[in-house]
Amino acid sequence: MNQLKSFASDNNSPVHSKVMRAIMEVNKGDAIAYGDDIHTLEAERRFREVFGKDTSVFFMLTGTGANVAALAHITRPYHSIICSDKSHLENDECAAPEKSTGCKIVRIPSNDGKIKKEQIEPLLGSRGFQHHSQPRVISISQSTELGTVYTPEEIRDIARFANENDLYLHMDGARLANAAAGLNCTLAETSKFSGVDVLSFGGTKNGALFAEALVFFNQDLAREFEYTRKQSMQLLSKMRYVSAQFNALFYEDLWLDNARHSNNMASLLAEKLGEIENVRITQKVEANAVFAILPEKAIEMLQRQYFFYIWDRERNEVRWMTSFNTTEQDIDDFVAAIRRSVEDSD
Ligand SMILES: Cc1ncc(COP(=O)(O)O)c(C=O)c1O
């Protein structure tokens, strides 16, 4: 099978060479298992450097694992978890959050992947009524599944509301790096300093092989999480290989270079698409995703040359994602292919 160039997801990109090298470098001799090795201590130190000293970090293997373990740890089965109807949590985790937490997932309709406190407020009517699940956690994604980004003010608004109403704020930061790069702010400003209690922080989409972390800013919530991680089957014995990846991403801000480049490629794609008739961009391009509507026949033709997902079949809306390894030439070639497909579909 021919390997098609992918604009489907940053999950399809390779591992950054500096991350791969870091993995090779720690591949020497023995190291104490389960996180008691020097590379893990170093990675934990780097997380505290980035997010501040009141930070507890636990390394994990998958983003779904981080989300699910976080939610399982901070809820009881009679609680509910509030999130956007576009969230990965709701749509792409095979109901693992429901299975592992027992909680009801309450979806808030959203056109751009974001939710607002005004939409959450009416859901609190069930509070204290023993026949209803009890709202406990708000989960937001940064950047969102639609490539949009919450501003720190928007997050603070939700965090304040959560705080006033005895709710926790969880952030799915599988692409926090892209959000911070897009906002031109630090990772902490768009999470901890905006009032997030617990963050699923992603390295995999930012050039790692498999490196995710659960980061607690609310220290009360972090208590005994090591047991939840183990029960969630996310405790890796050869932890040094995950830690090495984070050390590489934080070294000289490789994470930021990767995220900036990825975002710039999405902006370039969006800019060039503006010159093509019959292609309409449907979401703000604030991170590394471009959503667009184009003729059905053009999508079919394009999919013979490139791998990407149709987001909404009824609307002929597609999702194109860029990554740290997308080049300007890739964008030029892709835009030329889109132009040809759209013209030929007439
Ligand atoms: C927003 C978001 N959260 C979480 C994940 C989960 O990652 P994983 O596939 O590692 O479980 C993804 C994966 O694409 C994602 O896009």
Residue 195 confidence (pLDDT) above 90: yes
- CA 12 / ligand 1 centre spacing (Å): 12
Q: Which domains does the chain have, with CATH numbers?
A: 5-12+254-344 (3.90.1150.10), 17-253 (3.40.640.10)
| Segment 33-53 mean pLDDT | 97
Both tokens assigned to 158: 């939700």
> At 165, phi and psi to the nearest 5?
-115, 20
pLDDT score at 226 = 98
Residue with tokens 């509030």: 82
Going by alpha carbons, the residue nearest to atom 7 of ligand 1 is 63
- CA 93 / ligand 1 centre spacing (Å): 8
Sheet holding 280-281, edge to edge: 280-281, 289-293, 317-321, 309-312
Residue 3 confidence (pLDDT) above 90: no
pLDDT score at 2 = 57
Cβ–ligand 1 distance for 91 under 6 Å, the answer: no
pLDDT in tens, 9-23: 999 999 999 999 999
pLDDT score at 126 = 86
- The answer, yes or no, to whether the previous bond of 143 is cis (omega within 30 of 0) is yes
> At 282, phi and psi to the nearest 5?
-110, -15
Q: How confident is the model at residue 5 (pLDDT cuts 50, 70, 90)?
A: confident
258 near 16, Cβ under 8 Å?
yes
pLDDT in tens, 137-189: 999 999 999 999 999 999 999 999 999 999 999 999 999 999 999 999 999 99
- CA 66 / ligand 1 centre spacing (Å): 9
From the list 110, 215, 196, 121, the residue with the least C-alpha distance to 165 is 121
Cβ–ligand 1 distance for 64 under 6 Å, the answer: yes
Enumerate long-range contacts of 327-332, CB under 8 Å, 24 or more apart: 327/265, 328/265, 328/268, 330/5, 330/265, 331/265, 331/268, 331/269, 331/272, 332/272
**Surface-to-core class of residue 119, CB atoms within 10 Å of its CB (0-12 exposed, 13-18 middle, 19+ buried):** middle
Q: How confident is the model at residue 346 (pLDDT cuts 50, 70, 90)?
A: confident
Residue 1 confidence (pLDDT) above 60: no
Q: Residue 191 has what DSSP assignment?
A: T
161 near 120, Cβ under 8 Å?
yes
Both tokens assigned to 156: 């603070």
324 near 280, Cβ under 8 Å?
no
- CA 99 / ligand 1 centre spacing (Å): 17
Q: Residue 12 has what DSSP assignment?
A: G
Residues sharing a CB contact under 8 Å with residue 310, sequence separation 6 or more, in sequence order: 299, 316, 317, 318
Both tokens assigned to 342: 């759209």
Residue 249 confidence (pLDDT) above 80: yes
- CA 175 / ligand 1 centre spacing (Å): 9
Enumerate long-range contacts of 86-91, CB under 8 Å, 24 or more apart: 86/110, 86/113, 86/144, 86/145, 86/146, 87/113, 87/139, 87/141, 87/144, 87/145, 87/172, 88/63, 88/64, 88/141, 88/145, 88/172, 88/174, 89/139, 89/141, 89/172, 91/145
Cβ–ligand 1 distance for 10 under 6 Å, the answer: no
- In the three-class reduction of DSSP (H, G, I as helix; E, B as strand; rest coil), residue 198 is classed as strand
Q: How confident is the model at residue 4 (pLDDT cuts 50, 70, 90)?
A: confident
| Segment 76-97 mean pLDDT | 97
pLDDT score at 294 = 97
Q: How many Cβ atoms sit within 10 Å of the Cβ of residue 255?
A: 26
Rounded to the nearest integer, the mean pLDDT of the chain is 97
Cβ–ligand 1 distance for 174 under 6 Å, the answer: yes
- Does pTM top 0.95 for this prediction? yes
85 near 108, Cβ under 8 Å?
yes
Atom of ligand 1 nearest to the CA of 67: 4
Residue 197 CA neighbour count, 13 Å, CB half: 26
